[in-house]
């Protein structure tokens, strides 16, 4: 059997990398040989535990950077931290995201600023800050989008609009940063259920609309990210739906 793709000698920055999908992505990139810089905002304890887990497997292969991505000063600081840790930057994963309902009549400008800030503004400006370093090493950017960027989710209008902006960002940056930097996206469907967010009946209703009949799980999403990072280098500006066929269901 041929060996799998390798990221030996590469440095990856993953925002929101301490838990859930972000942690799965971090582990997958690290297993392929990358040195990973794990960004977190409040999740210090799980971030430290993940870093220590990875360092036990391979010394000097993981580090942490804390920051609120709504703060503009965080964007260049994260890039600087990645370069100081890994000697450069090869992969940026824009994973960090806010998600919660904003029913019409209850949505506020604070909700708008937070949801657009984490899902559109921060990924764009972090990508802009990282672009010179990524260009030096022929790097790539992968955004975590959402199938609801195209198909709205009830009572989540602001989040869905923010993810739609994120999806257009993938296409716009792919054009503007070519040919040195590839930019792609992953659009998960049901992957990990939000903790304490859905009743069992809601989950069953979602599964009934998925042709494959099951949620993805974190590893499926991480594998898709890995595909975008290490797959054919002629792919850019594309968003891969990892949704069990939900996006083609009537």
Q: Sign (positive/negative) of CA torsion 24, 27, 31, 35?
A: positive
Average pLDDT over residues 205-222: 71
Is residue 100 annotated as a catalytic residue, yes or no? Answer: no
Q: What is the pLDDT of residues 76-123, one digit of tens each?
A: 999 999 999 999 999 999 999 999 999 999 999 999 999 999 999 999
Does residue 83 belong to any structural domain of this protein?
yes
Does residue 183 belong to any structural domain of this protein?
yes
Q: Tell how far CA 41 is from the center of its chain.
A: 15
Cα of first residue to Cα of last residue in the chain, in angstroms, is 40
Does residue 5 belong to any structural domain of this protein?
no
Alpha helices of the chain — where are they, by DSSP H? 20-31, 44-57, 74-86, 109-116, 122-136, 157-177, 200-208, 218-230
Does residue 2 belong to any structural domain of this protein?
no
- The mean pLDDT of the chain is 91
Q: What is the pLDDT of residues 135-144, one digit of tens each?
A: 999 999 999 9
Does residue 202 belong to any structural domain of this protein?
yes
Does residue 201 belong to any structural domain of this protein?
yes
Does residue 60 belong to any structural domain of this protein?
yes
Among candidate residues 100, 153, 159, 197, the one labeled active-site is: 159
Does the pLDDT of residue 1 top 60, yes or no? no
> Residue 142 belongs to what domain range?
11-248
Domain count, the chain: 1
Report if pTM > 0.85.
Answer: yes
Q: How confident is the model at residue 204 (pLDDT cuts 50, 70, 90)?
A: low
Does residue 94 belong to any structural domain of this protein?
yes
- CATH number for the domain spanning 147: value is 3.40.50.720
Does the pLDDT of residue 193 top 60, yes or no? no
């Amino acid at each position: 059997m041929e060996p799998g793709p390798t990221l030996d000698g590469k440095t990856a920055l993953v925002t929101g990398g301490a838990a859930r999908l972000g942690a799965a992505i971090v582990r997958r990139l690290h297993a392929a040989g990358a040195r990973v810089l794990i960004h977190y905002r409040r999740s210090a304890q799980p971030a430290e535990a993940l870093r220590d887990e990875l360092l036990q497997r391979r010394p000097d292969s993981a580090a942490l950077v804390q920051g609120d991505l709504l703060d503009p000063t965080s964007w260049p600081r994260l890039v600087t931290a990645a370069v100081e840790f890994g000697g450069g930057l090869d992969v940026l994963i824009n994973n960090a995201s806010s998600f919660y309902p904003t029913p019409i009549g209850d949505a506020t400008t604070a909700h708008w600023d937070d949801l657009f800030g984490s899902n559109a503004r921060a990924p764009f400006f972090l990508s802009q800050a990282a672009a010179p370093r990524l260009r030096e090493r022929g790097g790539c950017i992968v955004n975590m989008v959402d199938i609801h960027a195209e198909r709205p989710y009830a009572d989540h209008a602001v989040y869905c609009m923010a993810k739609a902006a994120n999806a257009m960002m993938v296409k716009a940056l792919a054009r503007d940063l070519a040919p040195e930097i590839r930019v792609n996206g992953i659009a998960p469907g049901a992957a990990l259920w939000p903790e304490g967010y859905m009743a069992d009946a809601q989950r069953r209703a979602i599964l009934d609309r998925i042709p494959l009949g099951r949620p993805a799980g974190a590893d499926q999403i991480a594998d898709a990210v890995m595909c975008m990072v290490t797959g054919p280098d002629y792919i850019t500006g594309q968003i891969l739906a990892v949704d069990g066929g939900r996006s083609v269901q009537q």
